[in-house]
Amino acid sequence: MTDDTLLEKAKHCLGGSLLNPLSDIALERFSARNFERLAALIHRYSGIKMPQGKRTMLAGRLRSRLVALELDSLDDYCGYIFENRGIANELVHLINAVSTNKTDFFREPVHFDFLRETFLPALVLAGRRAVKIWSAAASIGAEAYTIAMVLEDFRRKNHGPDYSILGTDISTEALEIAVAGQFSKAMIDPVPPEMRSRYILQSRDQTLAMARIIPQLRAKVAWARLNLMESRYPVDRDMDCIFCRNILIYFDKSTQNNVLKRLCDHLRPGGYLILGHSESGAGAELPLVSVRSTIFRRL
């Protein structure tokens, strides 16, 4: 895959516009009934809430699918899915289109400070030789690769434990970018200079706008497609730490609680669950104790 292709895919996953705006005719031909049918399907399969106020947003996200399927309107798209049995082929593309893939390297840095200053030193004191971390809802990989940089840096400087990282997401397009480990130079700006020089390959040709995670670090992260709405997760049940950040906000309360309960099943006793800054497990009966804001320890 070429650099240009990856860059275009990244723009699409991050909400960038690769196509002309949806025509007024196509937008008008999106009935309230069909919006409700699509919204119900999206919620049932992915847990993502799609209230009436997001009708225009959904229409914009699906414009590329109209082009790909050579359809004239969103009502035609709904006809293809619901009446022409296109759902089996189209569901993955629909979820790719509506998934929000906002992500950054070292986003919410307090969580990575916790890994470096508290989590990893405790494992060393306990004599642990290996650590397993799961980045759920990993998007295009910035979170998982940030974790890898922090763990590798600690291992190198402190004779820390070996580690493995699992990154999962519902979007196949996001995972394709994550596996490649190739990002725009602008996106890697938050990476500290020392880590950037050690863990990221950058072309000497200043006209090239891409950079890539070094192979040794990419090899530490395994990638898989996973839908958090599934009743069971094909993931090890002895994770030392699970990151599930900035995805629960798109779910209703019942779905949030169910996802959190399932995530807890994959944490070892004493392991940590880390949520996004605007998320919490408040109101849910979970085997967790808060150790600081958005960071919880499994009982």
Residue 280 CA to residue 293 CA, distance in Å, equals: 9
- Residue 55 is labelled as binding a ligand: no
Integer angstrom CA distances of residue 119 from 116, 182, 217, 241, 296: 6, 28, 20, 9, 12
- Residue 257 is labelled as binding a ligand: no
Return the C-alpha torsion angle 58, 61, 66, 72, nearest 10: 50
- Residue 143 is labelled as binding a ligand: yes
Which parts of the chain fold into alpha helices (H)?
Answer: 3-13, 24-28, 32-46, 55-61, 63-69, 74-78, 87-98, 110-114, 120-125, 142-158, 172-180, 193-199, 215-218, 253-264
- Residue 100 is labelled as binding a ligand: no
- Residue 107 is labelled as binding a ligand: yes
* Three-state secondary structure call for residue 67: helix
CB 8 within 8 Å of CB 18 = yes
CB 214 within 8 Å of CB 200 = yes
The burial of 288, by beta-carbon neighbours within 10 Å (0-12 exposed, 13-18 middle, 19 or more buried), is given as buried
- Residue 246 is labelled as binding a ligand: yes
- Residue 24 is labelled as binding a ligand: no
- Residue 20 is labelled as binding a ligand: no
- Residue 101 is labelled as binding a ligand: yes
Task: From 25, 41, 45, select the one nearest 33 (Cα to Cα).
Answer: 41
Integer angstrom CA distances of residue 55 from 30, 59, 63, 93, 139: 9, 6, 13, 18, 23
| β-strand partners of 168 | 224
Residue 167 CA to residue 164 CA, distance in Å, equals: 10
Active-site annotation, residues = 61, 169
Binding residues: 101, 103, 107, 143, 169, 227-228, 245-246
Binding residues for S-adenosyl-L-methionine: 101, 103, 107, 143, 169, 227-228, 245-246
